[in-house]
Amino acid sequence: MLESFDIASWTGPFTAQTREHAQTVLESGSVLYFPKLPFVLLNSETEFRDARLSDGKAKNISLDSTTGKLQGTSAHGEEAARLAAMMERFGAGATAFVQGLLPNYAKVERARTSYRPVEVKGRAYSVLQDDRLLHIDAFPSRPMGDGRRILRFFANIAPPRQDGGGARSWHVGEPFENFASAFAPRLAPHFPGKSWLWDKLGITRGRRSAYDEMMLSLHDAAKRDAAYQRNSPHTPVAFAPGSCWLVYTDQVLHAALGGEFALEQTFHFDAAQMGDPARAPIRVLERLTGRSLA
C-alpha cells in the first residue's frame, strides 16, 4: 500500500517509466511516498511551526487560492499575509509537481490548501469528525456528483529531531473494494428527496448524487463500527520530517494518529480522465451494486 520514490526535485524532469509507474500504483490504491522531497521553509517561515497559529475552532488553517482568503487561524495582518504566502507557495508547487509527474493529470483542479500545525494526539472530536479512525474521505457539503476524485498531497514540515521523532503517523487500511464489499450491503437506503431538499436549503453546494450519498454512508459506517476499527487489516506508516506523500483519500482507507506541522493540498479530478477509470470508487461501487450512481 506504500510505494516509495527516490524523487528529490519538485520540477523533474521525470522519466516516462517513473511517470507511468507512479500513475498506475496511485490509481491502484497505493500511497506514493517521497522521502527525499522536502518542502523547505524560508528562514522567515520557520516561526510558523507553532500550534498557536490555529484559532482553536477549525481542525486546519485553510487557504482559498482563488481569493487569497485565509481561515481557521489566529494570525492577523502582516503575519497572516506571510502565512498565506507560504501556503500558496506550497500549493502552487504541489500542483506543478502532480501535473508534471502524472501523465493524465494536466487538468487536475486545485482546491483548498491547508496547514495542520496542531498535534493530532490529545485532541477530542466526535466519532464522525475523528480522523484518527480509519475512513475514506467524502464531503458532506461539496458533492462530487459523477464520481470526481479527491486527491491529496501532503508535506511534513516538522523539524528533524535527534530522537527520530516528528513523523506523521498513519494507519493505511484494506483495499477499497474489500471494504466496500463488506459495508455496502449494510447501508440504509437513501431517501430520494433528501439531496434535493438539502440543495434547495443551501446546506450543500449542489445536489448530492447517489454516489455522494453512498460514499458518505461508507465514511460514517466505518467510523461508527468499533469492531472494524479494532480488527480490520491495517498497516502503520510513518512519514518522516522533510518528506511528502500523495494519495487518493476517497479510495485509500487511512487514519491520522499523530504528528504536527503538516501542509496539505487537495485536488479534484474527473474519473474519466484517469489512466484507468475502472479503478475509480464510483466504478467499483457501480459494479458491486449493479446500478448507476450518477
Question: What tens-digit pLDDT sequence spans the chain (294 residues)?
Answer: 899 999 999 998 999 999 999 999 999 999 999 999 999 999 999 999 999 999 988 889 999 999 999 999 999 999 999 999 999 999 999 999 999 999 999 999 999 999 999 999 877 788 999 999 999 999 887 888 899 999 999 999 999 877 768 999 999 999 999 999 999 998 987 776 777 666 676 777 788 889 999 999 999 999 999 999 999 999 999 999 999 999 999 999 999 999 999 999 999 999 999 999 999 999 999 999 999 998
Structural domain harbouring 117: 2-289
Q: Is residue 294 part of a domain?
A: no
Cα distances (Å, whole numbers) of residue 134 to 56, 64, 65, 205? 24, 27, 29, 26
- Tell me phi and psi for residue 122, to 5 degrees: 95, -10
CATH number, position 77: 2.60.120
Q: Is residue 120 part of a domain?
A: yes
Phi-psi label, residue 88: left if phi above 0, alpha if psi -120 to 50, beta otherwise = alpha
State pTM to two decimals: 0.94
Burial class (CB in 10 A: 0-12, 13-18, 19+), 207: middle
Q: How many CB atoms lie within 10 A of CB 212?
A: 27
Q: Is residue 37 part of a domain?
A: yes
Number of separate domains in the chain: 1
Q: Is residue 267 part of a domain?
A: yes
